[in-house]
Structure 1
Amino acid sequence: MSWLADTRDSYDTVAESYAEFVADALEQQPYLKAALTLFAAQVDGPAVDVGCGPGHFTAYLASLGVDASGVDLSPAMVGLARRAHPELAFEVGSMTDLTLPDASVAGVLASWSLIHVPDDDVPVALGHFRRVLRPGGLLVIGYHVGAGTRLKTQGYGGHPMRVHIHLRQPWWLARRVRAAGFTVEAEWSLNPENEVSQAILFARASA
Structure 2
Amino acid sequence: MAVHETGAARSYGMISELYADFAAGAFEADPLGRSMIDVLAKSVAASGGGPVLDAGCGPGHVTAYLRGSGVEAFGVDLSEGLVELARTRHGGIRFEVGDIGALEVEGGSLAGVVSNYSIIHSPPERLAVIMAEFARVLAPEGYLMVAFQSHEDPGAGVETFDHQVAMAYRYGVDHVLAEAAAVGLVEQARLVMAPGLDARRGFSQAHLLLRKAGASL
Superposed pair shares fold, TM > 0.5: yes
Q: Which amino acid aligns with 1:181?
A: G
Deviation at 1:151, TM superposition (A): 4.4
1:176 and 1:167 mapped to 2: Cα distance? 15
Instruction: Name the residue aligned to 2:161.
Output: 150
Q: List per-residue Cα deviations over 1:127-184 (Å, max 9, x = no partner).
A: 11000000000000000013411243xx3xxxxx4x2211111111111111121111
Instruction: Name the residue aligned to 2:29.
Output: 28
2:27 and 2:13 mapped to 1: Cα distance? 23
1:169 to 168, 172, 195: 172
Matches within 5 A, 1:17-166: 17-43=18-44, 44-146=49-151, 147-152=158-163, 155=164, 161=165, 163-166=166-169
Q: Please state if 1:203 is matched with 2:210.
A: yes
Q: Which amino acid aligns with 2:175?
A: W
Runs of 4+ in 1 over 3 A off after TM superposition: none
TM-score, normalisation: structure 2 = 0.88
Where does structure 1 lack aligned partners over 5 or more consecutive residues?
A: 156-160
Q: Which moved more, 1:8-17 or 1:51-60?
A: 8-17
Given that 2:55 and 2:118 are in contact with CA atoms closer than 8 Å, whether structure 1 keeps it comes out as yes
Number of positions where the alignment pairs a residue of Structure 1 with one of Structure 2: 199
2:188 to 180, 185, 195: 185
2:90 and 2:139 mapped to 1: Cα distance? 26
2:160 and 2:26 mapped to 1: Cα distance? 24
Deviation at 1:187, TM superposition (A): 1.0
Cα distance, 1:126–1:29 mapped onto 2, change above 3 Å: same
Deviation at 1:59, TM superposition (A): 0.4
What SS does structure 2 have at the residue aligned with 1:34? helix
2:159 and 2:171 mapped to 1: Cα distance? 7
What SS does structure 2 have at the residue aligned with 1:116? coil
Where does structure 2 lack aligned partners over 5 or more consecutive residues?
A: 152-157
2:5 and 2:68 mapped to 1: Cα distance? 31
